Amino acid sequence: MDYTKITTFGALKASGYKPKTIKEELRQNLIAKISKRETVFTGVYGYEDTVIPELERAILSKHNINFLGLRGQAKTRLARLMVNLLDEYVPVVQGSEINDDPYQPISRYAVELLKENGDDTAINWLHRSDRFAEKLATPDVTVADLIGDVDPIKAANLRLSYADDRVIHFGMIPRANRSIFVINELPDLQARIQVALFNILQEGDIQIRGFKLRLPLDIQFVFTANPEDYTNRGSIVTPLKDRIGSQILTHYPTSVEIAKAITAQEANLEAAQKEHIYVPELARELIEQISFEARDSEYVDEKSGVSARMSITAFQNLLSTAELRMLRNGGGATAIRLSDFMGIVPAITGKVELVYEGEQEGAATVAMQLIENAVKSLFPILFPKVEKLEKENERYPYDDIVRWFSESEGIELSDELSETDYRRLLDQVTPVHALIQQYQPQTKPEDQYFLIEFILWGLSLNNKLSKYRLGNGLQFHDNFHGYLRNNL
């Protein structure tokens, strides 16, 4: 039955509509979706066996929830997705500031209106998309913002004394009655403001300037918190923690494949970039591996974490670097090159918090180390490990490539090379084709040149070749040339 055509309380009662609390809505709709084998929290990757089951248990238990985790772990996204578990529409008393349920009105306005009009009381229907409120906890948040305050203008206009509760202006939380209310970064909320939440979470009382109102608010509270905040800026006061039913720990992606899926979903690339720029799969893996390297780096503050946003913005910069080169060369298409990763340095430096040693090294230097460490980590997965000690008169997989560089002037890959010139230069290093054919024979033709450059980077990082950044390009030479360059 389409209840939304009903416009009066009497007609609503006659229809057989049964009111539910918001926690009952969430619980019943979750049960229905699970029974139908529907995916409840779409677009969230890597939490299928960890966070999401815990969240589902919390909803079934009708708990208020605290998501605890480092930045960029989809805490707010999960809270917003809970809206999909609400009923599509719920009835509210027309004109109510706090979404009064006509079956259980709690505001003075709604109680008096129903008493006066009875079954003729007009009702509206509130869509679930309007039943979500969110507040970022900042030091300037006040009790008046969240709970409410006396409104002198309302008192003057209605000619009421301050002793009359009709002069109250309700804050964000009462106005979010029958909704999901999210407070992000809860530890940043001053302790005295957190105290104001005690009764709302437990008893349903609110106190405003001496008024003690019995308002059994119907709210699903969701909080988010970063463990770093517990020491740097504040903490969640113990009595408030005690009133939060479930604390759910979030985490970063546990594999490159999961991280790739997140980046692909969130990157929001321009249509022209998708159409004209080819991205080798190895380039996507490198982008994600950089974040994994950052999380393990001695130069990056572990407590601060490395958000998934770093991979997303780095990927966007990577595509823009290739696009800029394509535009300057007047070409209609291009492919990502490993040298394009120079363009993602600003996306890294702006997303990582460095410890003292990292600050001494410099943000840009640390960013380059992370890129190079990612190459070193993936190299032995695709090709034989480079041995530090080699036996004389024994042949190794990279001997022909090293010999080619020792017998040539090396190559210089400018950042602005056209596609034709870029491929021509890499094709000169003929031994790499045999290496790819032997160890990666399934490589697609369009991935060949990225893989060639990857091999050169890998060998240079394992001290088989030398690599230099000069101006707007990279030079690859044999180690003897590198020795001369460093000692002259």
Strand-pairing partners, residue 213, are 206
Query: In this structure, what CATH number is given to the domain that contains residue 180?
Result: 3.40.50.300
> Are residues 245 and 256 both part of a single domain?
no
If asked whether residues 337 and 396 sit together in one domain, one would say: no
Looking at residue 149, its pLDDT comes to 72
Same domain, 50 and 165: yes
Give the model's pLDDT for residue 481: 62
Is the pLDDT confidence value at 281 over 80?
A: yes
Check whether residue 118 and residue 192 sit in a common domain. Answer: yes
Rounded-to-integer distance, Cα 79 and Cα 90, Å: 20
- Name the strand (E) or helix (H) holding 150: strand 148-150
Beta bridge partners of 127: 89
| Residue located via tokens 């988010």 | 224
Do both 326 and 229 map to the same domain?
Answer: no
Q: 41 with 11: CB under 8 angstroms? A: no
Do residue 310 and residue 396 come from a single domain?
no
CA separation for the pair 355, 366 (Å, rounded): 11
**Whole-number Å distance between alpha carbons of 58 and 337:** 46
Q: What is the bridge-based pairing of β-strands 123-127 and 205-208? A: unpaired
C-alpha 412/C-alpha 405 separation (Å) is 12
> What local confidence, expressed as pLDDT, does residue 292 receive?
95
According to DSSP, the residues that pair with 39 across neighbouring strands are: none
414: CATH: 1.10.10
Structure confidence by residue, pLDDT tens digits, 250-265? 999 999 999 999 999 9
Give yes or no for residue 444 having a pLDDT over 50. yes
For residue 2, the model assigns a pLDDT of 77
Higher pLDDT, 160 or 92: 92
- Check which CATH number belongs to the domain holding 366 and give it: 1.10.8.80
65-68 and 220-225: which strand pairing? parallel
pLDDT at 442: 94
Identify whether residues 256 and 243 lie together within a single domain: no
pLDDT mean over 201-207: 70
Rounded CA separation 427/336 (Å): 17
DSSP codes of every residue in 414-462: ETT--HHHHHHHHHT-THHHHHHHHH-TT--GGGHHHHHHHHHHHHHHT
Choose one of 217, 249, 281: the last residue of a domain. Answer: 249
pLDDT for 107 equals 85
Question: What is the number of domains present in the chain?
Answer: 3
pLDDT bin (cut points 50, 70, 90) of residue 391 is low
Asked whether residue 241 falls in the same domain as residue 256, the answer is: no
CA distances from 26 to 83, 93, 200, 301 (A): 9, 22, 20, 38
pLDDT at 392 over 70: no
Count how many residues are written for the chain.
Answer: 488
pLDDT for the residue 63: 96
Q: Which range is least confidently modeled, 192-206, 257-271, 309-323?
A: 192-206
Q: What is the mean pLDDT of residues 324-346?
A: 93
> According to the model, what pLDDT value does residue 233 have?
55
Average pLDDT (434-463) is: 95
Kindly report the pTM of this predicted structure.
0.86
Contact between 233 and 187 (Cβ < 8 Å): yes
| Residue-wise pLDDT tens digits, 20-77 | 999 999 999 999 999 999 988 999 999 999 999 999 999 999 999 999 999 889 999 9
Other beta carbons within 10 angstroms of residue 471's beta carbon come to 9
Residue corresponding to tokens 């948040």: 141
Which among 313, 329, 299, 304 is positioned nearest to 416, based on CA atoms?
A: 329
User: How far, in Å, are 30, 32, 161 from residue 35 at the CA level?
Assistant: 8, 5, 55
Amino acid found at 87: D
List, edge to edge, every strand of the sheet that includes 180-184.
132-136, 180-184, 220-225, 65-68, 246-249
Q: Which residue has the higher pLDDT, 149 or 247?
A: 247
Angle at 463 between CA 457 and CA 465, to 5 degrees: 60
Position 488 scores a pLDDT of: 47
Domain range for 193? 3-249
Give the DSSP letter of residue 73.
Answer: S
Last residue of one domain, picked from the residues 220, 249, 278: 249
pLDDT, mean of residues 302-316:
91
Higher-confidence residue: 470 or 313?
313
Residue percentage of the chain with pLDDT more than 90: 67
pLDDT bracket for residue 234 (50, 70, 90): low
Tell me: do 102 and 33 sit in the same domain. Answer: yes
